[in-house]
Homo-oligomer: A and B are copies of this chain.
Amino acid sequence: MFLSNFESSVDVKKRVSIPALFRKSLGGQESVYLWESLDKPCIEGCGQALVDHFEASISDLDLMDRRRFALATVILGDMTPARLDEGGRIVLDAALMAKAGITDKVRIVGAGDRFQIWEPARYEAMRAELRQLAIESLGLLKSKPNHSQQGHAKPNGHSNNGASDTPPEDEPPLPRRGFE
């Protein structure tokens, strides 16, 4: 599980340090996989586990399903493996860097099952924008009643802002998957 975020620099050889905390989450894997985020202006990355999950999910779809081909092409086909050197660094692909607007600094952000590599200014802008939405969505986190040991979660009565209407979706592109 990838948590926290770090600022790091990109050297002349386009190398970037993967934070030690993330390397621990990778459990000693010597490769990560990178791709251009489908819906955000950043690079995303993960370890073997999430790739395997993607692959398995896609394999479950019907061979004749056009969506299968779309997913396989866009997700698996655009994925770039990157090996970590002895110092725990990877080399960023020039094309990925360009798409994410990255030059000499990056912010690496944990997002549960994956991490993201942002151009710092873009990250700040995105975060400022999402902060308000996150605050409004906090109600989604409190509704869990079954909370074991540590004092039960506040039984807050305030039903969230009618937020529980997740967009009705007949078939999500990928099965729901938790972080981690």
Cα-based distance from A169 to B65 in the complex (angstroms) = 11
Minimum distance in angstroms from A106 CB to a CB of chain B: 14
A135 to chain B, nearest CB (A): 5
Q: How far is the CA of A113 from the CA of B155 in the complex (A)?
A: 12
From B50, B136, B148, B177, give the contact of A59 (CB < 8 A): B177
Interface extent on A, as a size class? 35 or more
Can you name 20 A-B pairs with beta carbons within 8 Å?
A: A1-B150, A2-B76, A2-B151, A5-B77, A38-B134, A53-B153, A55-B179, A57-B140, A58-B179, A59-B178, A60-B178, A62-B166, A63-B173, A67-B140, A69-B130, A71-B140, A72-B111, A72-B112, A73-B127, A113-B151
Q: Which positions in A face B, CB cutoff 8 Å?
A: 1-5, 21, 25, 27, 33, 38-40, 47, 49-50, 53-67, 69-81, 109-113, 116, 126-127, 130-131, 133-138, 140-141, 143-144, 147-151, 153-154, 163, 166-167, 169, 172-174, 176-180
Beyond the given pairs A59-B176, A113-B151, 15 more chain A to chain B contacts, judged by CB atoms under 8 angstroms and listed by A's residue number, are: A3-B77, A5-B77, A40-B69, A49-B149, A55-B112, A56-B144, A57-B140, A58-B179, A60-B176, A67-B137, A67-B163, A76-B110, A76-B179, A112-B151, A113-B154
